[in-house]
Amino acid sequence: MTRRKALVAREPNGRAKRTPSEIMSPTESRRLMDAAKSGLKDKVWGTPLGWLHVSGKLNSTQFAAGLRWSELVADYAKAMQGPKPPQSARLAPEGGTPVDPDSPTGVREARRHSQIVHQYLGATSILKHASGHVRNAVREVCELRQMPTGEDQLRALGTGLNVLAAWWSAGGKRK
């Protein structure tokens, strides 16, 4: 005995039919990708995470969790003064001095760095409870900006982003 499905129009595969506004054509998604690469649209659509969202492989909650994870990892690297990726030589020196840790600005920055570190450690502990395959998929797509290599990795990415989104919505705070 099966559960009754809602009375809606269905596709041949059994899914509820989607409205045309929910589906983006392949041509439209390609145009959006090309526009992002040429600078006409937001750069996020040119990333693998943006492309997976545009092509319908990730839903908006997973996409938002992936963006948040990417930003958190970048902030964590800055807070921990991690090694920077190689860059070309700077010909003009950048001015400025580090903030004095005893000044009010330095205290605020130290508090912000502490919160970022706690957020990162909490999120990584949540991902550690998922399998290593899930953790690696999230890392490769969100941090290293690589496309998933197969259906298994895409499923693992979706699982990892769902876990992160659920954790953040249940009280894992950002600030």
- H/E segment holding residue 167: helix 151-169
54-109, pLDDT tens digit by residue? 888 999 999 999 999 999 999 998 888 877 767 777 777 666 667 777 788 888 98
| 1, part of any domain | no
- Whether residue 70 is found in the same domain as residue 135: yes
Structural domain containing residue 28: 24-57
Quickly state the pLDDT bin for 174 (edges 50, 70, 90).
very low
| 50, part of any domain | yes
How many Cβ atoms are within 10 Å of 47's Cβ, its own excluded? 20
Q: What is the DSSP letter of 92?
A: S
- Whether residue 29 is found in the same domain as residue 78: no
- Whether residue 115 is found in the same domain as residue 43: no
113-124, pLDDT tens digit by residue? 899 999 999 999
Strand partners, 10: 16
Distance CA(130)–CA(137), nearest Å, equals: 11
What's the pTM? 0.69
- Whether residue 165 is found in the same domain as residue 120: yes
- H/E segment holding residue 66: helix 60-79
148-169, pLDDT tens digit by residue? 988 999 999 999 999 999 998 8
Winning range, highest mean pLDDT, from 17-21, 79-83, 110-114 = 110-114
